[in-house]
Copies of this chain bind each other. A is one copy, B any other.
């Protein structure tokens, strides 16, 4: 906590994937409304709530992928209708499916595309880890910026840089894929330090309030992804709910920046935690 400084009206802007965003809080890739969220919204309704809510609050949302390829397709279509302002994520499927999914994203004119490879242990879809060579083949195969979500070690962050990823997401799939694996906040500092600015480092996992965003940025992240709070907000209030939740967290982030003396996101470093 710091009180003697000039950061009276902090600025939370950030440039990511060529876009000027008003907040470093992105909407995470989420699907499976029926089996994960109770099904009050269908895939398209949910994707619209996420993508539009993020745009309204000056940031970007993602869409996801699950068992039925139609779920991925629904997300791509919603992003397409939003002039491509969103990021579809695919599961680490077989290479031919990956290529097909990349084509769909390209034709939809999306901003960027990603793979949540932290889901490589799923037994309900044919997914698998990818070797460095396979990942390079995938990335070389598309003209879109490609984000790898599920990096938890320095060595794999290094691989992500080498194969040409546009960004990484430090993620353990919300802690639901491998019990007892470290939290993302534990591994983030050494990963961010190793990456050293060569690509943006995004992080997710347990971010529930603006102070959590401050902490993740202090630990080295450039931006964060938020999932669960946006599900609650989006199921309750659609796009408006999502936008409200992001604005609330952004305001909390600004208040935390006031009380730690950070005028811009770049000022948020490890010292603000102590």
A120 in contact with B258 (CB, 8 Å): yes
Q: Mark A120-140, 1 if CB is under 8 A from B, else 0.
A: 110100001111100100000
Q: Mark A192-220, 1 if CB is under 8 A from B, else 0.
A: 00000000000000000101000100000
CB of A229 to closest CB in B, whole Å: 15
Give the oligomeric copy count.
Answer: 4
B6 in contact with A256 (CB, 8 Å): no
Instruction: Give the number of chain A interface residues (Cβ < 8 Å).
Output: 46
A215 CB contact (under 8 Å) in B128, B131, B180:
B180
B1 in contact with A159 (CB, 8 Å): no
Say yes or no for A160: interface residue by CB 8 A criterion.
yes
Query: A120: which B residues are within 8 A, CB to CB?
Result: 3, 258-259
B129 in contact with A2 (CB, 8 Å): yes
Say yes or no for A260: interface residue by CB 8 A criterion.
yes
Query: A98: which B residues are within 8 A, CB to CB?
Result: none
Q: How long is the Cα–Cα vector from A255 to B178 in the complex, in angstroms?
A: 8
A150 CB contact (under 8 Å) in B3, B129, B150, B261:
B3
Say yes or no for A107: interface residue by CB 8 A criterion.
no
If A182-B274, A209-B179, A260-B178 touch, whether A4 touches B255 (CB-CB below 8 Å) is no
CB-CB contacts below 8 Å: A1-23 with B: 1-8
Q: Which 5 A-B pairs have the closest CB atoms?
A: A1-B152, A3-B117, A8-B128, A178-B259, A1-B181
Given contacts A3-B118, A120-B258, 11 further A-B contacts (CB under 8 A): A1-B182, A3-B152, A4-B117, A4-B130, A4-B131, A4-B135, A4-B156, A4-B160, A8-B128, A129-B259, A179-B209
A residues sitting closer than 8 Å to B (CB atoms) are 1-8, 92, 117-118, 120-121, 123, 128-132, 135, 148, 150-153, 156, 159-160, 172, 177-182, 187, 209, 211, 215, 255-256, 258-261, 274
